[in-house]
Structure 1
Amino acid sequence: MIWFLIFICLVSLLSIFLKNYRKELSNRKLRVFANKPAFEPISKLINQGQQRREEGIKRRNLDYKKINNTFDKADLFYAQDNFKEAEKTFVEVLTLNPEHLDANNKLGLIYLKTNRFSKAEAVFKQLITLEPRNPVYYSNLGLAFYNQNKLLDAKDAYDKSIMLDPKKANRLLSLGKVCQELKYWKPAINAYSKALELNPKNFELYFVITDLLIRVQAFEEAMAFINTYLNHNPYDQKAKDVLREIKIKAGTSPLMGSKSLDSDQKGQNQLFE
């Protein structure tokens, strides 16, 4: 009987001890939670930032010799029009360095040449985020948009390309073509006219611009363009027929003589000042 009472007492004491221990443990958790700051300490954030920078440096610790050799191999395939092998090898370059500008650009060009325009669009968009001041990437993006019939996007891309480098006639021609398909006649005229200034020997542009000027009923400027063309090609019967047509539409006698070159140039300039 005595041993039984002793056992009961020991069990009671153990129960009280465990109850107090659980209570103390719960209070400790509450104190830890109450003292935890809403934000990480500045020192910890700085350390995290330093760690990220160090990881970035490690990622940029590239094997440039291997990258350059692989790129040269891919570029040789590209020059040989072996686009299948070139694509595969440029992808190898980008596996080694995803931000390799030339490899990205050549890969995008392969996508353009093989009519995978949505992939080309994605590549050139990525290039623009890496190097937003390169007009070539905007121009190539414009071509990718154009071939997907995204004409407004193409116009915007060509505009940005020309803003960065206004001295490339081909980009102005591309912009003019897009504007023409959008039926933006005056922007098309401006783009083609600037292209003609850069390449005055592109005589076909005189007829393209003249046709657009007729569309907007700018007959005086249209006659000025054709007369300027006739100064270079005085025996071109097609140009003479176009001039006669313009005079009829303008309500001017087809028998009226041609204007002087100074007058022609003035007529051209009036539209674009």
Structure 2
Amino acid sequence: MNNIQQGIEYMKEQKFEEAGKAFTEAIEEEPNDPVGYINFGNLLLHLNEFDRAKAFFDKAIELDENATTAYYGLGNTFYEQDDFVKAKEHFETAIQKGLENSDVYFMLGMSLLQQEQPRFALPYLQRASELKPDDVDALFQYGLALAQSEQINLAMEIMEKVLKLESEHSDAHYNLGVGYLFRSDIEQALKHFDEALRIQPDHLLAANGKGKIEEILKDQSE
């Protein structure tokens, strides 16, 4: 096991000081290899040392302008600092330079959602869920973006898929409740709001949705 692999193992074990030493040794052994800098950047990002993380990712790109995971690391660094415009730019660059995995598409989609651009986020979140079909978060955010883009029927189909993967997903139940309310299917809407509240009793949006339905039923009975 080389220093990079050892450092990654230390990170998994949350032995961050040891990980830092291993990555430092990797950089000292091969100062012109961007991989050591990228991994040290990831460690610093994990520790919320954003400026230092950027410096290591920038050094990796200086050594190799096609170091895709360095651009991805920079994207994550800006995302964690709520700079979603710069995050988007770096995730796009990572993809343009050949990075093809679920995470980068998911983060690009999330950067666009954070900028309230759900229609632009859709293809990236869809691609993320295609590349990792069992990723509940990617699938749920794709469904959410569909709902925000007023594609209600397709959004509901996606939320059903989320529940097949994770039956106790309170937010998926809530969003299905909203979808059925949109269709004026009060019985199904109430069922899903109740499920959301059973799973998460403090789900305020589901409680609000249930309250609205109870008002409708009360008005109908009078």
Choose 1 or 2 for highest CA Rg. Answer: 1
Change over 3 Å in CA distance of 1:152–1:87 after alignment to 2: same
The 1:121–1:244 alpha-carbon spacing in structure 2 relative to 1, beyond 3 Å, is closer
Specify every segment of 5 or more residues in structure 2 that has no aligned partner in the other structure, as ranges: 1-27, 200-206
Residue 173 of structure 2 aligns to a residue whose secondary structure is: helix
Native 8 Å contact 1:77 1:83 kept in 2:
yes
Question: How much has 1:112 moved relative to structure 2?
Answer: 1.0
Q: Per-residue CA shift, 1:72-122, capped at 9, x if unaligned?
A: 432332222100111011100110012223222111101111222222222
Distance in 1 between the 2:57 and 2:77 partners?
A: 10
State how 1:210-221 maps to structure 2 within 5 Å.
Answer: 210-219=177-186, 221=188
Amino acid at match of 1:65: E
Residue 68 of structure 2 is aligned to residue 117 of structure 1: no
Against the structure 1 CA distance between its residues 73 and 207, is the aligned structure 2 distance closer, same or farther, given a 3 Å change threshold? closer
The count of residues paired between Structure 1 and Structure 2 equals 184
1:188 aligns with 2:155: yes
Q: Which residue of 2 aligns with 1:168?
A: 135
Distance 1:86 1:137 in 2: 18
Q: Distance in 2 between matches of 1:150 and 1:192?
A: 20
Unaligned runs of 5+ in 1: 1-62, 254-273
In 1, the alpha carbon distance for the partners of 2:166 and 2:29 equals 41
Distance in 1, matches of 2:212 and 2:111, equals: 38
Distance 1:244 1:119 in 2: 42
Q: Contact 1:136 / 1:161 at 8 angstroms: preserved in 2? A: yes
Shift of 1:246: 10
Q: Is 1:65 aligned with 2:33?
A: no
Aligned equivalent of 2:115 = 148
With over 3 angstroms needed to count, the CA separation of the structure-2 counterparts of 1:207 and 1:121, relative to structure 1, is closer
SS at match of 2:30: helix
Partner Cα separation in structure 2 for residue 188 and residue 124 of structure 1: 25
Distance 1:188 1:182 in 2: 9
- Distance of 2:44 and 2:123 partners within structure 1: 33
Partner of 2:54: 87
TM-score (norm 2): 0.68
Instruction: String of CA shifts for 1:171-217, please: whole Å, max 9, x gaps.
Output: 12212222232232222212222112211122343233112211122
* RMSD (Å) for aligned C-alpha atoms: 3.3
* 1:7-156 alignment runs, 5 A limit: 65-66=30-31, 67=33, 68-131=35-98, 133-156=100-123
Query: Could you tell me how far apart the structure 2 residues matched to 1:84 and 1:139 are?
Result: 24
Identity of aligned residues (%): 18
Alignment of 1:244-263 (within 5 A): 245=214, 248=217
Asked if structure 2 preserves the Cα contact closer than 8 Å seen for 1:226 and 1:243, the reply is no
- Cα pair 2:140 2:172 within 8 Å, conserved: no
User: 2:41–2:73: 8 Å Cα contact kept in structure 1?
Assistant: no
CA distance 1:76–1:226, change in 2 (3 Å): closer
